[in-house]
Amino acid sequence: MVAKWESAGSAVHPRPVDQAALDTSLRLAHPSQIELFEAIRRASGSKIDREHVTMSMPTPRVIPPRVASPSWTMTNSSSSKPEDLRDRMVDRIRRAGFMPSERVEQAMRTVPRHLFVPAVSAADAYADRPVIVKSGPTHPLSSVSMPTVVAIMLGQLDPQPGDNVLEIGAGAGYNAALLAELVGPTGAVTTVDIDPDVTAHARSALAATGYDHVRVITADGALGAPEHAPFDKIIVTVGPWDLPPAWFDQLAVGGRLVVPLQWRGQTRSIAFTRHADHLRAADSQPCAFIPMIGLVPNGERSADIADGVTVFWDDDQQIDPGALRPAATSPGTTLWSGVAVTSYQTVDGIWLWLTVTEPNTCRLAATDEAIARGPIDPIFPAVTPAIADGDSFGYLTKTRRPSHNGQRRYELGATGHGPRGPQLAERLVTVIRRWNLDRAAQPVVTAWPAGTRPSATGRVIPKRHTTLVLEGG
């Protein structure tokens, strides 16, 4: 049985999944919730379109797998002991190319993840999927991230011995325990969560596993922890739409902020470095997190433009969903780019570069029923990058091409609807081809506190507390 958590006083308890409600929630989910719903569906035996899942994974670009596997990998390959499951979890991450350093690897081999999520089996705890810590009436409220995402973000953060680290979003306490291993006895870790049930669980699990020196605070994470600042590193494990001023103020100059920030319909884990008057990042990775609640504003808007078809945009954008409705039921124009990918190659960089070149980049979501009915046919049903222009819109799509070396291949293209649909499809194809010239390239992202004048030039994306500037292209 798949377990969720629900509150009862100060405790959290497992409860079975309502599959019908889950299917509905998945179709309507915010992108930050999709990895959680996908994990539950995998665990409960529901059919998953693995092409959609794997094509949105980040590109491996970290330390290579070991040349020779440790002996226990062979002798304990079928063992169900938690320590063997833990080692196999780490081996999978490393073989896939997502383990950022030997130090992170050792920490992940040391911390007993299964003891932080006792409501699920050890096998589920060490599978590469998130585990829900607490659920609300319609969607999860807290979770432990999938191990691969944990490893990637710890690599972005790069905590060092002696660092003073702040974590926003306590989850079950597992990530805080990893941080405690990485900063060592001379460092300090503080984890903050707005939900008292979540912090109670994290505090108990940390104490039971020998990490009771980690500070656990019940408070709105947007306020940080000023009594323990300044911090050398801050890591955010929930999905904010904006960057609260406290995080900038409490981060030491030269320090690093890793945050899964939302803009233009996507969520990316960005590794910012603090400068005197701004934050700067040249590295980001696609991810999915539960949206942050509390004082952090949510400036994302959404509206249906057809039955089962929804567009998501930011409140600074000039997008009128009413003007798009006639286009959503009209035939589209599809152009092919000549760029092919396999089902194990990421295409998230196209969305990232669209946010640099197209001011009205947004997200399109369509239910399976809407896709079957037509004419909308996006590359990913729930999370497809799109652009809008008045009464027209376009989005990424794909088509199957002959396999190569046993791998499925897809050609990327774009479909446009409405009077300017053909032109929008052409603009999207131009970005696909530009991305294909150097798929690893990324724009530089700077974040400037509201009220300051950015000295960087590029695509400006205003938020409430922050102004983003994307440079490149």
Place of tokens 């063997």: 84
Number of H helices, E strands in the chain: 15, 22
Query: What single letter denotes the amino acid at residue 127?
Result: A
Q: What is the DSSP string of 209-237?
A: TT-TTSEEEES-GGG--GGG--EEEEEE-
What b-and-e string marks burial along 318-357, b requiring 16 or more CB atoms within 10 Å of the CB? ebebebbbebbeeebbbbbbebbbbeeebbbbbbbbbbbb
Q: In what order do the strands lie in the sheet with 384-389?
A: 300-306, 309-314, 361-366, 384-389, 392-404, 407-417, 332-342
101 Cβ contact list (under 8 Å, min separation 6): 62, 63, 155, 158
| H or E stretch at 44 | helix 31-44
Q: Locate 217 and state its tokens.
A: 């605070």
- Count the neighbouring beta carbons within 10 Å of the beta carbon of residue 406: 6
Residue 78 annotated among the catalytic residues of the structure: no
Active-site position among 7, 32, 135, 145: 145
Q: Locate 14 and state its tokens.
A: 């497992």
- Scanning 229-311, the segments in alpha helix (DSSP H) are 245-250
Residues taking part in catalysis: 145
